[in-house]
Amino acid sequence: METALSALRALVRVASSTVLGLLLLALVVLYLSAASVPPSAAAMAGLLHTAPQALYAHGLFLALVGLLGANLLLATGLRVRFDLPRLGAHAAHAGTLVLLAASVWYGTHRLAGQSISYRTADGWTPVRHAYLDDTLILTLRQGTERDVQVPLQPVPDDPSLLQGDPWGRGLLVHRQSSAFAPAMQLAVTDGNDVQTVVLSPDIAGRESLRGEDYVLLFRPHLSDEEARELFEGDASAFSFDAGVIVVGSQGQAAVVVIRPDGQREVHALQPGSPTEVVLGGRAVRITPLRFLRIPVFTAKQREPESRFLLPYDEFATPGLGALVTSEEGPASMGELILSRRRVELPGELRLLGTEYQTYPGSGIPRDYVTRVEVDRGGAVEREVIALNDPVRLGPFQLSHESWLPASDPQMVILSAATAPGLWAVWVGCALISLGLPWAFFVKPLLLRRGGPEPERSEA
């Protein structure tokens, strides 16, 4: 018994020691340094398909912070005398602990996503839902049966995965979401003329690149029939050379050159490397730069029921795929939808109008003002959402994320987020802000005024 007690004492002594605290602090600093720079650089270079922020939710980091918190709690309780001069140390330490606990609560219970309103002929669509960032679900709809929601990991940004069965669920993917236009960015050199273009069959004005005696097209994910037509069909419709860039179900990216006499040539394309083809009697170099999926929204489009939404910049989140699939099962037909989880807002927001404000005498943007009507279940109130000026709807704070297009928006995207335990975060911050100057500047004055006292090694 005595041995166990002394072992416990020793353990507590070690666990509450300042040296251990400093060691843990050093490890936290090292982890933060390592987690902030290389992943950011890798993400910038397109090498990392995970958001760098995910590293701050890693178990190792959380364990380090937890141990540091425990050490701080023990050290403060056991080694810092509770008197007026040391009030600052107690406040700062307590503030740190409150901040840590509140941050964990905030991080694990926070809901964050976007709410979207579209301008239609009848006005703005009402905002009743938020689509959450951190959830990617697969919904299998079968008639009126309840949706089956399966959480998913982000899909790697690899077009070849569009074939086959990326999730091992016996499913076959047939087409991409109509909310996204597949596109390819490429550099085309024709003599001294060099241009970087984005081609997409689904975006008006971007369907083709017209040269002097040729046309260049991008046709991703052709069906078998379409591919057969491309490679073997009648070419008499063309009175000039056509270069058709294909990718996806045709395997490796390639450019198929179709001559007016029906001749075909196939040239493989390598990302980043120029491939020379003869088009219209001229040597044309084609350099694929990257594949893109461009979110497409139309003015008439209503808020999708459960469609995958990616309203933010596609480049910022490599790896998030958007697929709408269909499956013919033996007994039923269902629709498989990759989507974000939708939560209902505690009320409704109706947009009344938008105002794009510029600095006087210039076209430089100053503020984006959205006038809204907020229905919180009682009286309907008119409010304004502007930069640094959000509105609250129950636990949700709704602030501007983007307008598309910016000067005359057809779609307004609001970030919607809750802030559980935020008051405790501010309490922790206030305790730290007050505790530090007390510990640094008031304590020496108090000790000096109180006369010499035996110094303690801690705090």
Partner 1 sequence: MTRPPTPSAGCHGCAVRSRVRPGRTAANGAAVAPRLLPAILLAILILSSPVLAADALRDGPAAPPDGTSRRSAAETGVGEVTSEGAATSAPAFDAREDSAAPVAPDLFDAETLAFLRKLHAPPLSRLPVQISARVAVLDTLARDQVSQATGEQAPADLAPAVAFLELYFNAGHYLGRPVLYVREATARAWFTDSLPPRFRPAFAATHRIPPAVLADEEALELLLATGRADLADLETVRDVPSLRSGLMIRGMEGPFRVPIDRLQLRYAAFFSADALRVLPDPNGGPWRTPEDFALRPGELGPRLSAAYAHWRRLQTAWRSRDADAVNGLIDTFPDEQEALAGAEALPPKLLRDLEVLYNRTDRATITWVGFAVSLVLLLFAVATERRGVRRLGLGVFALSTLALGAGFVVRWILSGRGWHLPPILNQFEAVTASALLGGLLALGLEAVRPRGWFALAAAFYATVGLLSCFFLPGRTGAGITAIPGILDAPIMSAHVAVIIVGHALVGMTLPISLALLGVAAVRGSGSETLRVIDRCNVLVAQLATWTVAGGTILGAVWAHAAWGRFWGWDPKETWALITVLILLATLHLRFVVPPRSRGTLTAVGCLLAVGAMLFNWIVVNYLLPGLHSYA
The answer to whether residues 224 and 237 touch, using CB atoms and an 8 Å cutoff, is no
Q: Which of 234, 245, 250, 238 is nearest to 267 (CA)?
A: 245
Q: Measured from the CB of residue 246, what is the shortest distance to partner 1 in angstroms? A: 23
Rounded Cα distance, 296 and 203, in Å: 8
Told to check if 422 binds partner 1 by CB under 8 A, we report: yes
Q: Which stretch binds partner 1 (CB under 8 A): 26-34, 177-185, 208-216, 299-307?
A: 26-34
Told to check if 362 binds partner 1 by CB under 8 A, we report: yes
Give the side-chain half-sphere CA count within 13 A for 67: 18
What is the size of the binding site for partner 1 (CB under 8 A)?
A: 82
DSSP letter (8 states) at residue 439: I
Told to check if 365 binds partner 1 by CB under 8 A, we report: yes
Burial class (CB in 10 A: 0-12, 13-18, 19+), 231: middle
Show the tokens assigned to 456. Answer: 């303690």
Rounded Cα distance, 111 and 340, in Å: 12
Our CB check for partner 1 shows the closer of 296 and 429 to be 429
Told to check if 10 binds partner 1 by CB under 8 A, we report: no
Pick out residues in 133-192 that bind partner 1 (CB under 8 A). Answer: 187, 189, 192
- Span between the terminal Cα atoms of the chain, in Å: 33
Reduced 3-state DSSP string for 390-427: CEEECCEEEEEEEEECCCCCCEEEEEEEECCCHHHHHH
Told to check if 356 binds partner 1 by CB under 8 A, we report: no
Told to check if 456 binds partner 1 by CB under 8 A, we report: yes
Q: Measured from the CB of residue 364, what is the shortest distance to partner 1 in angstroms? A: 5
Work out which of 4, 5, 331, 364 binds partner 1, going by CB under 8 A.
364
Q: Which of 139, 140, 167 is nearest to 155 (CA)?
A: 167
Work out which of 11, 41, 63, 352 binds partner 1, going by CB under 8 A.
41
Q: Which stretch binds partner 1 (CB under 8 A): 211-219, 253-261, 341-349, 359-367?
A: 359-367
Q: Which stretch binds partner 1 (CB under 8 A): 154-162, 167-175, 212-220, 433-441?
A: 433-441
Told to check if 361 binds partner 1 by CB under 8 A, we report: yes
Rounded Cα distance, 243 and 254, in Å: 10
Q: Measured from the CB of residue 448, what is the shortest distance to partner 1 in angstroms? A: 10
Our CB check for partner 1 shows the closer of 191 and 353 to be 191
Q: Which stretch binds partner 1 (CB under 8 A): 33-41, 202-210, 220-228, 325-333?
A: 33-41
Q: Measured from the CB of residue 216, what is the shortest distance to partner 1 in angstroms? A: 17
Pick out residues in 78-97 that bind partner 1 (CB under 8 A). Answer: 78-79, 81, 89
Q: Which stretch binds partner 1 (CB under 8 A): 32-40, 152-160, 213-221, 295-303?
A: 32-40
Told to check if 56 binds partner 1 by CB under 8 A, we report: yes
Spell out the residues 6+ positions from residue 137 whose beta carbon is closer than 8 angstroms to its own. Answer: 149, 150, 151, 152, 338, 339, 340, 341
Chain centroid to Cα 288, Å, comes to 26
How many residues are given for the chain?
Answer: 459
The answer to whether residues 21 and 75 touch, using CB atoms and an 8 Å cutoff, is yes
Told to check if 313 binds partner 1 by CB under 8 A, we report: no
Pick out residues in 58-77 that bind partner 1 (CB under 8 A). Answer: none
Work out which of 353, 387, 405, 450 binds partner 1, going by CB under 8 A.
387
Told to check if 433 binds partner 1 by CB under 8 A, we report: yes
Told to check if 194 binds partner 1 by CB under 8 A, we report: yes
Told to check if 109 binds partner 1 by CB under 8 A, we report: no
Work out which of 257, 336, 372, 439 binds partner 1, going by CB under 8 A.
439
Mapped onto helix, strand or coil, the DSSP state of residue 343 is: strand
Q: Measured from the CB of residue 142, what is the shortest distance to partner 1 in angstroms? A: 36
Rounded Cα distance, 116 and 181, in Å: 20
CA angle 103, 106, 110 (to 5 degrees): 155
Told to check if 263 binds partner 1 by CB under 8 A, we report: no
Q: Measured from the CB of residue 340, what is the shortest distance to partner 1 in angstroms? A: 17
Q: Which of 160, 412, 167 is nearest to 297 (CA)?
A: 412
Pick out residues in 277-296 that bind partner 1 (CB under 8 A). Answer: 285, 287, 289
